[in-house]
Amino acid sequence: MAIIKPFNGLRPAADLAAKVAARPYDVLSSEEAKAAASGNPYSYYHVSKSEIDLPEGTDTHSQPVYDKAAENLHRMVQEGTLFLEPQAAYYIYKLVMNGRSQTGLVCVSSISDYDNGIIKKHEFTRPDKELDRINHIKTTKAQTGNVFLAYNDVPEINALVDHWQEHNQPVYDFTADDGIQHTVWVINTPAAIQEITTLFAEKVPCTYIADGHHRAASASLVRAGFEKEGKITSVDNPVNYFLTTIFPASQLAILDYNRVVKDLNGLSKEALLSQLDYDFTMEEIGHLPQQPSMLHEFSMYLDGKWYRLVAKEGTYTTDPIGILDVTILSNNVLDKLLGIKDQRTDKRIDFVGGIRGLEELVKRVDSGEMKIAFALYPVTIQQLFDIADSGNVMPPKSTWFEPKLRDGLITHII
């Protein structure tokens, strides 16, 4: 069963929360972060993307970047921008985007649960990205990025969270520049804390990583290193836990995660279209973008035109991995026709989150940077759970969750 704990969160003064809050470090470039933080000394990008405060061209994975992050975090505490919660607490974090809301519980989750498979994964991680987060955690002595978890709904937990929101005032309530509303409550009464801890221990057999596989893996590796060095003397040591926000599955939505490819692998346009006809029912749909409307349907953009592709029977299996649209596209197009064997390492392919819209695919292709684009129907939350339960992993970049949790609102000090 799931082991969670309250913790003393490091968080912003109420009047500065909106200025501190930053998008996750891995969804924007250094240039975008620098522009977003311009003129704002309170921005958490000074911690999560601290290369913005160093000379242009600085290696983003070099020790000076991690040292600057630690320096900036310390400065923000010293100046009173951030303060440490005086007592261990849980936090409720509600996000509203385009009229749809989702409400999660911010807590620290057991790294032992992660290591033992109670917290289930659906993606492989890359060693270089793990090392980046390991160095960031060890240097700042903090987990600055939140891991987004999901679980099958428990009515008692939903009711408790709803009741707390109805009868208590939030500590933060603001709408960010992108129109997403962020509201946070602090749960700090012993009775409520105990009830939440017990409910998870008795009612939640497992949780699932929705977003943040590298942050979770890095926290585990940091803990393993501390253990090897004999630095962990108590089960309550903060390094045994990592920062998470856990959402009930019924409230979550997954957006499409699309692909763009630099070339046609030596094929002419006509040859590619001819070969696609073996595995897909295909029709030209014109110059206007059209989102796939069902599973096993794809939209393809090539030479200024959109095509609708529907996978034929026999091109996929019904097992949890084989039935995924990302698998169908990978096996029958990216690998078979375009020669992309490993999407994690091949530099000819890139990925575009659905939040950017199909217009971004058009832009990348029309600019000449890419040759062809594919839009996919989103993976469902049940498909994600089925794959994680089966012990399998999804192809890379299969899911895009929105809205994103903001960094800086709650930090876990280790």
- Both 43 and 18 in one domain: the answer is yes
User: What is the tens place of the pLDDT at every residue in 174-186?
Assistant: 999 989 999 999 9
Place of tokens 């060095």: 229
- For residue 270, what are the contacts with CB-CB under 8 A and spacing of at least 6? none
- Both 265 and 170 in one domain: the answer is no
CA-based nearest residue to 385, from 120, 200, 157: 120
- Both 326 and 231 in one domain: the answer is no
Instruction: Please return the burial class of 224, using the count of CB atoms within 10 Å of its CB with bins 0-12, 13-18 and 19+.
Output: middle
Q: What is the CATH number of the domain that holds 328?
A: 3.30.1760
- Both 202 and 300 in one domain: the answer is no
- Both 100 and 27 in one domain: the answer is yes
User: pLDDT class for 392, splitting at 50, 70, 90?
Assistant: confident
* pLDDT at residue 81, rounded to an integer: 97
- Both 192 and 101 in one domain: the answer is yes
Q: Is the residue at 134 inside a domain? A: yes
Paired tokens of 267 = 């094929």
- Both 80 and 212 in one domain: the answer is yes
User: What is the tens place of the pLDDT at every residue in 133-171?
Assistant: 999 999 999 999 999 999 999 999 999 999 999 999 999
* pLDDT at residue 379, rounded to an integer: 87
- Both 196 and 316 in one domain: the answer is no
Quote the domain boundaries for residue 107: 4-253+403-413
Q: Domains in the chain: how many in total?
A: 2
